Structure 1
């Protein structure tokens, strides 16, 4: 009995999609039939997902994170597509493939999408993609090494940092000055300063420098 697996692959580089397709077709099990649709932007992907939800639902969805956004500006990334997929295709396995490897982005994607597979492209070989695909079909989740290392660091760390503090750390690490943080975060300057002070206590920063805070946060897996 053949197992028909309906797949949607979304990436703005057609050559990457071609590589994924070739890998899966070459390594699929004998009893598997793969039907693969592709999209290069958020609007096309959303349209295909909506159609599929009304007809034959997709079994597996591959999303790149950085994609051309929708024309109405409401869907800006593969992360947004993942959130939509959770609602309209609740039984589909969601696989995120991305170049992004900063802990802040990994944390957000896991929190917002909680994907069945999370693969950093720089970790990926064709054999790992094939292994991940088969693993996710039977026993998700599957995380590539960068994601696993980040999650292990978080589990072993006894420091709790909320999403706003993560954003402050992320922005500081990108070179944004403290005085400009209010442009990115909906808090007063005094609230931001207070949060920075608390984090420096949490991370035992004795010299009071932002650079030391960023260094320690990175060491402990928060960046």
Structure 2
């Protein structure tokens, strides 16, 4: 008689229930050689956090799939999938953490890579049944992370340019790309004079000394910083 397959337990956290149900039906219905998938879903930060914390005392999840933007309680402070990823790394370090997000911008992907060091990052527009299966087999079968094309491109561009600017520069570039003016940049703990100096230095490094902030943003995007 054929041996029973190992059960692979997965938690998917996304505030779009139809998306998590799609993951569930696809992976639970897929034919894997060595295991079968059982997936739980959560559609808010609070429920995802509760399930991760409960897994410490119960049967752990082999993989936790996270969206970045998550719904949260009416009176609760804004929380993100990134924070859930950090929580998982702290209390269930043996669980694989994979992000499934619509974000494909270089800044966000590389920030998550630096803070959470996920086992995979999939841009939702690039996900289909074959991609989900390949991700699961790669991540669970090795220590090799799995990235879809846009995420891999962002990481490679960052590696090629990482020696040029620091994290403060990246924050400034990101805020500029959102349309913020220098004088309105809240939460960056330096003076406006320092921000302006940083912008001039970056323009000089990029060879666009006489150009405006729009040109700086365009060049930073082209080099993979945002």
Q: Report the count of equivalent residues.
A: 222
Is residue 2:64 matched to residue 1:66? Answer: no
Structure 2 match to 1:103: 106
Task: Give the superposition deviation at 1:160.
Answer: 2.4
- Provide the C-alpha distance between the structure 1 equivalents of 2:75 and 2:55, rounded to a whole number of angstroms: 21
Farther-moved stretch of structure 1 (203-212 vs 34-43): 203-212
Distance apart, 1:155 and its partner CA: 2.1
- With normalisation by structure 2, the TM-score equals 0.92
Q: SS of the counterpart of 1:34?
A: strand
Structure-2 residue corresponding to 1:155: 159
User: 2:98, 2:121 within 8 Å by CA — same for their partners in 1?
Assistant: yes
Which residue does 1:177 correspond to in 2? 181
SS in 1 for 2:121: strand
Q: Does 1:17 align with 2:20?
A: yes
Root-mean-square deviation over aligned CA pairs? 1.7
Say which of 142, 145, 148 aligns to 2:149.
Answer: 145
User: Of 26, 35, 57, which aligns to 1:32?
Assistant: 35
- Structure 2 unaligned regions, length at least 5: none
- Give the TM-score taking structure 1 as reference length: 0.93
Structure 1: 5+ residue runs without aligned partners?
A: none
**Residue in structure 2 matched with residue 120 of structure 1 by the alignment:** 123
Distance of aligned partners of 1:83 and 1:205 in 2 relative to their CA distance in 1, 3 Å threshold: same
For 1:203, which of 183, 201, 206 is the aligned residue?
206
Q: Are the aligned partners of 2:43 and 2:70 in contact in 1 as well (CA < 8 Å)?
A: yes
Distance 1:116 1:166, change over 3 A: same
